[in-house]
Structures are given as C-alpha cells and as structure tokens.
Structure 1
C-alpha cells in the first residue's frame, strides 16, 4: 500500500508540473542601443541610484512565479514591469500583472505603501469606491546585489490618464467621458476618506490609471512587442531599459469598459488614530508637507495642519488637467524650476481673494511649534516647521500679504477656455465647492458626487 501511495503522489506531481504554464519566448536581442550619454527614464530623477536598483531583465522569472515581460513604468525608487503569472495551471486563463520592484534602500517606504493598501483593502470591501482604488494584490521579497527588494503585485492597467489624453484631439477627453471619470474618482475618494480615514496626498494624472477595454489587449501587446532599447550603466554595470507602455490605439466601441483607478499610496497618510505629536491633542491632523507643487493646498503651505480636505483641494485643481490638459496655477515655479510658495499663494489670492483671518491665525499659532522631527526642504535646509520649509512668513503682523507685486491679474472665471460657454457656470460652481481657503468650507467627496455639473446633459 505505501508503494501505491508513493506512485499516486508521484504521478499527481508529474501531471501538475506538466500542467503549469510554460515560459513565453521573448525577443532575444535588445533594440537599438541607447547612447551612453543619453539619460533614460529613472536616470532623469535627481535622487536615482543605479546601485540600489534591482537588475531586472525581460524573460527573467522572479520568485518562481512571475516572468518579467516588459518594463512599463519607472521612478527614482522603483521600476514597474508587466509580468506573467506562470504558477497558474495550463487550463487556467492567462494572468498578467504589474510588478513594482522597489530599490533596496527603499524598504521602509515600500512597507508603508503595503501597509496602507492592506488597511484600505480591509475596511469595507462592499463599498462601491473600493474598486476605484488600485491596491496591492500580493507582495514578496527578492534578493539583489545590494540587498532585499520588496515587490508589490498589482492589477495590470492600460495607461495613466495623461497618456489616455494624447489619444484625443487637442488632448481633450470628451466631456461626457471626463464627467464619468470625475464621478468614479470621487466615489473612490469617498471610500478612501470616509471608510479608510486615509489622505492620498499625491493626486495627479500619473497616479490615475485606466483599465483595459478587454483582456486581449495585453496578449496582443506582448505578441507584437519588439526588443526594448537599453544601455549599460557605467557605474553599476546594470542594464537600464527604456519603458514601453503604449498598448496601442483605443477601441472606441469598448471605451465604456475603461474605468479610472486611483493608484500609488506610497505618500498616503492614515488619520484614523488621534495624535498628540502636533501639540493638538485629539485632533486628527497631518503636519508635514505633502502634495505635488501645483496641487498643494493653502493649509499645507501655511502650516495650519491638514486632513482629508487637502485631497479635495488637490482634486479641484486637478480638474483643469483632466478637462483642459492645462495647469490652473501658472506661477508655481521660479526661474530655476524650484517651487516658490509665495508666488503660489499670490496666485491663490488672485483667483480666490485674500485668505480669511482665521486661517492666518491658525498659521501663526502652528508656526510657534516645532515638528517632532525636522525635514529637509528643496534647498537642502533642515526645517522645524512649515514656515521654515516654505520660506515664510508670507503675511505681516496686520495679516497683509508681503508680496503684492506677485499677485497676477487673473480671475477664476477666465481660466476655462477649454469648456463651452454653456458648461462654464456649472463647472465654476462645482470647483468653488473645492477651492476654498478654509478646509472646513470644502465639500466632501460624497457631497460633490451629487453636484449638477456631473449630470450628463445637465
């Protein structure tokens, strides 16, 4: 009997080993070589370090489960590869995923991202907004030359919103589609804020990803995939591949199946646990600088403490990018390309009027407190509060703005040439619910969902 059991088990293992997916044959040769002096993808990032990056290459099998196919994304702290799950059985459908491979010196940030997304997944999966957030499916570690690399597994998505825009005339997504996307994104933010108590803190076109029209796009993409261009890094001898993330033309008949999802929670913050570290016991507020330069909320710049309403401001400013492929704020950067908070505030004053005294009083009060840990700003200076970080103060003792010469002659009403006249009043009414100096006056994501601007034909 023991022999029969051994025979049965051996036969079963053999059957399953043959039933596993075999490796795909990828183009064997690299594409045309990239000149050594030419910067490629992550090399454009000032804090990129090739020595700490994982030397991923097409065809490689990671964790005995994923075959790397093509690089589809990059950043200073990671690269993203389209990968195929070869652990699936032969009769199961293909499963392609996006594999985010972090640098070896980025373990803490990767764990933070994984923990935030695990928290999001566990709150209320039945909420309709949960499906609008692209969260990690799995994670594991691989060993590289310089240490361990955290790998985060995600649903494969078609492209970020800024690439989708390029597929339309004048980079303008038709308004009915754009309204539907805005609605979906607000549903996702509602879940993130109301159920998860999480502030995203980094809303931008690159962090809004669009799903595929159908499942065949991915396999067709791989079949027609040409060798990736690459170069050898002179210091680390690591091969750097050029990103290939164009999945081809849209199928207009299937565009109704393409859903936007909010991605990348690496800079997100949980506010579900009251903290006393900011000197305001019981207040659920963040204190450190957040958000991309163009979308930074006034309470962040002024150091008043921030919560979920910072995301609402961020989203309101982002609507100019979504609907018009343009920035609302035109003077955020100085002549050297560095963020200039005083110029940014000057433009806010032009568009919204002067800030209320209560907000400036909060700013003065918070400026007297030091952060628990100092933070280095863009100039490399160690800062103890927001005033130091953003080179304030910006208002004098009488609450008058110190830089009136920087206030441009602009109004919010004249920033929407991308909309037809019949749509402008409703749009301005919509964004004025988000772009207010006082965070408490901004509507929640749930309240914004019901605004008339989002009604098709209304």
Structure 2
C-alpha cells in the first residue's frame, strides 16, 4: 500500500517549531464513584432504554479473539472499546484494536457500514488516498439479552480533530499544519470519489481522526490505566462505564508524523450506476436528505438531486471549523434548536449571491416527483419530497426568494478574521471553488489539491 509522508526537510522543521510553540498540555484526572442519579455517556441518548446497547465489561473476550480493555467512545448507536487481540502467536508483537460494538437495534446500519468500508478497501489499495480512509479490519457478531450486535474492528486512532484543536493556543491549528491536513483529506476524498464512487455525506470534525505517531503511546496508556469509573443501572442492571479516552499530553514532535483520516461511513452512499430516480435516467445522483445541518449543500435542500459534489460543498464549509474553530453559517437553527432551511438559504444568498435560474428550475422539476419511500422530518411530518421535508417552497413563481428579511448583512470576506491579511485572498479563491450554487461548477478533490493556498511556502 502506498505510504504518504506528511512533511520533509525545511517544512518538517517549521512544523515542529509551530507545534512546540502552540501546544497546550492536557492531563487525565480521576474522581470518586459515579452517583446513581448522574447520567453517564450513552445514558444521555434520548432512546437509551430501548436502544439495545451491548453490556460490555473489561476482561470479557468476544469471538474468542478480542479481550476488552477500556471504553474509549460512545454514540447513540454504539460503544467503542480498546481490545487486545489474543489470537496472536507468542513470537508476534501484541496488537490492540478499537472495537465498535453496535446496538442490537442498529444491526442493519452496521452491516451497511461494513459493506461500504469493505468496498472502499478493495477498490484500489495502491491509491495513496486509501491510507487516509479509516475502514474496518474485521467484523463479527455477538449475542446478548438485547439481541444480536455487529462488531466492527478498527485501527486505534489517537483522537478526533476537534480534540487535537483543543491542544493548541486559542484552539487554532497553526496554518502550515492545517494546510497539510486539508491536503491529505482531499487526497482521501479523491480516492473515495474517483475510485470508489462513494459519497461520504457526513464530513465533520468528529469524523476526522488523528493517527498515533507510534504505538508506544498506546502501550503506555494501557499500562497506566486505572479501573474505569462506572455505575450499575438500577433499571436494567447494566454496568455503564465512563470513557477513558485521553491518551495523554501531545509532544510537539509527534505532529510531524500524525495523519488525519476520514472515518465513519455509516451514512455513505455508493453512486456507481446512472440514476433512475423517479424514472429519470441520467447522471449518477441521489435525492434523499443528507448531511449535518451546518454543512448541507443547497442542492440537497432544494431537492435537485446530489452527487459527489455535495461532499465538496460540505468540505468547503468545514474549512472554517478546521482553520478557525468556528461555523461559517450562523443562522442554521431556529430558537428551538431545530434546523431552519429558509434561514440557511438566506445566509447562502448573503455570502454567494442569489442562486442561478438553472438550479431553481431543477428544484421545480424534481418537486413534481415523489421519493420512492416517504421519510419523516424533524417535526414528525411524513414527507414525500425535499420541499415538504425542509418546509418549502423557498422561491415564488418568479424565482424570487420569499424570505428576504432573513438575509443577513454578511459577506464571505468578513467571515475569516482567523486568517492574516496575506492569506485571505488565496483562501477565498480556494473556497470559492467549493462553495458554488451549481454542483457542476465545484472543483473535484483532485483539482483542489493543486490550489496555491495549500502551498506551504517553504
């Protein structure tokens, strides 16, 4: 498999200097036993009682191969544990993996994730972007009183990108380091789109994970582990453990060898055949709602059909999080915390100007067709197209926006105070190749890799 070197020569020395000057140090802490009334990790999930979490315990062996060590993550659909592979031979070095144990209620979703990741792994392993995508190494099923659980085995990663940001002064990655990470993420997207024909649909800081500089850090983490704090649920009798996911302070020398990897393909979609949605035969595209609220592309909201370029829009918006630890769009949610598509579109208009007639014509055409399967939106309404799902229409018969009062007095130039004057023009040129109304006008990941903004300048 092709290997990628992050930095070399002068750039490597400069990166090390930036990292040493900018890093905060973080430390672990321990405390008293968890009170029964205090919610722990997955208990915060609204459907915790019915979600079917697996009752994993330290020391337990799964599939006769993986011995559970310590919990390092959780979500609404799974918990994640460090596990020792005890199937190794005596002369082989010890291997530790991350074990994602999915809820019994999410077995179908887990199998979809497994199948997508298997597809990604086997398309072209020699492509350099393959190393930037974190896919499962193995999978198996276990059974509990809750039902069957799909378990996915992964390489252990140090932390998500948002935690890495916290380690720097002002939660801001030094620009040369951020540029390098952006470049490599584009390498990964290039492989995902061009070779695998997969749209990620869920790009965010939590789904970008940082690799370990070396496995000694992981070994030391395991050796110094104290028992996890936990409590026993009074209702289910399940022992709930609190995550131990702080792998210790980060030495600036580690930065030069840490690689960001795109993870979590549970919502990804393969577009490897021409679409026949609603009887329309044409280019590869899909139509169901996708993407996190802040990163949703305009063609998704307007129901025009989307393809790989939806990821490019998503990635362009994400650059504000990577470089400035802030959101580009400020009025995506209403006062009740619900997604407000009309306000989101109003802000797009402020930053990019009004949408072209071509896009609005596509939206009108697609609004006449029903989705193959109805979906329920956030307010509990059953919807048959994007207009119903996002509470449209947003434009009148003359293609005028219905909510001009919502358009803020903002422009793209005013959203980047985190960059110095000398970097702003190049950055705006870069993101304007991603943030366009028409998907076909956005550059591909491969084309974006050549943009001058990503040059480290010696």
Per the TM superposition, whether the score is higher than 0.5 is yes
Shifted more, 45-54 versus 307-316: the winner is 45-54
Kindly indicate whether residue 115 of structure 2 is the aligned counterpart of residue 115 of structure 1: yes
* 2:241 matches 1:241: yes
Q: Residue in 2 aligned with 1:78?
A: 78
Decide whether the 8 Å contact of 1:50 with 1:233 is kept in 2: no
Q: Quote the Cα distance in structure 1 between the aligned partners of 2:422 and 2:278.
A: 46
- SS for the counterpart of 1:278 is helix
**Which residue pairs with 2:340 in the alignment?**
340
Contact residue 213 and residue 257 of structure 1 kept, 8 A: yes
The question of whether the paired residues in 2 share the 8 Å contact of 1:301 and 1:341 is answered with yes
Comparing 375-384 and 234-243, the one that deviates more: 234-243
Name the SS of the counterpart of 1:68 in structure 2. strand
* C-alpha deviation, 1:282, in angstroms: 3.3
Cα distance in 2 for partners of 1:148, 1:165 equals 37
Aligned pairs for 1:246-261 (under 5 A) are 246-261=246-261
Which segments of 5 or more consecutive residues in structure 1 lack a partner in the other structure? 1-29
CA contact (8 A) 1:50 1:236 kept: no
Deviation at 1:232, TM superposition (A): 2.3
CA distance in 2, matches of 1:310, 1:348: 15
Deviation string, structure 1 residues 144-184 (Cα, Å, up to 9, x no partner):
11211000000000000000001000001111111000000
Q: Answer yes or no: is the 8 Å Cα contact 1:31–1:227 preserved in 2.
A: no
| 1:305-324 → structure 2 map (5 Å cutoff) | 305-324=305-324
C-alpha distance after superposition, 1:335-387 (max 9, x if no partner):
11111111110100110011001101101111110000001111111110001
User: Quick one: distance in 2 between partners of 1:136 and 1:377?
Assistant: 31
Deviation at 1:275, TM superposition (A): 3.2
Q: Per-residue displacement from partner, 1:115-158 (whole Å, max 9, x unpaired)? A: 10111111111110001000010000011112110000000000
* Partner SS for 1:285: coil
Alpha-carbon separation, structure 2, partners of 1:58 and 1:332: 41
- Corresponding residue of 2:350: 350
**The 10-residue stretch of structure 1 (311-320 or 117-126) with the greater mean CA deviation from structure 2:** 117-126
Structure with greater Cα Rg: 1
1:81 is paired with a residue whose SS is strand
Deviates more, 1:394-403 or 1:31-40: 31-40
CA distance in structure 2 between the aligned counterparts of 1:437 and 1:58, rounded to whole angstroms: 50
Q: Which has the higher contact order (CA 8 A, sep 6+)?
A: 2
- 1:57 corresponds to 2:57: yes
Trace 1:50-199 onto structure 2 (pairs within 5 A).
52-199=52-199
Q: Distance in 1 between matches of 2:50 and 2:218?
A: 29
51 and 235 in structure 1: CA distance in 2 versus 1, 3 angstrom threshold: farther
Distance in 1, Cα, partners of 2:437 & 2:232: 49
Q: Corresponding residue for 1:12?
A: none
By how many angstroms is 1:50 displaced? Answer: 5.3
Count, aligned residues: 429
Alpha-carbon contact 1:48-1:77 (below 8 Å) kept: no
Indicate the larger mover: 39-48 or 367-376: 39-48
The 1-side partners of 2:31 and 2:229 are apart by 4
User: Any idea what the Cα deviations from partners look like across 1:261-305, whole Å, max 9, x if unmatched?
Assistant: 000000000000223233321331111000000000000000000
Does residue 305 of structure 2 align to residue 289 of structure 1? Answer: no
Question: How far, CA to CA, are the matches of 1:327 and 1:428 in structure 2?
Answer: 16
Aligned to 1:18: none
Residue aligned with 1:312, SS: helix
Question: Does residue 454 of the first structure (1) align with residue 454 of the second (2)?
Answer: yes
2:300 aligns to what? Answer: 300
Partner Cα separation in structure 1 for residue 169 and residue 154 of structure 2: 31
SS across alignment from 1:339: coil
Match of 1:419 in 2: 419
2: CA distance, partners of 1:44 / 1:169: 30
Distance 2:440 2:394 in 1: 22
Cα distance in 1, alignment partners of residues 240 and 107 from structure 2: 21
Matched, 1:381 2:375: no
CA distance in 2, matches of 1:79, 1:31: 22
Q: CA deviation at 1:113?
A: 0.4
> Which digits, 9 at most, give the CA deviation of each residue in 1:233-272, with x for residues without a partner?
3332211111121111112112111000000000000000
Distance (Å, rounded) in 2 between the aligned partners of 1:112 and 1:168: 36
Q: Is residue 198–residue 271 contact of structure 2 (8 Å, CA) maintained in 1? A: yes
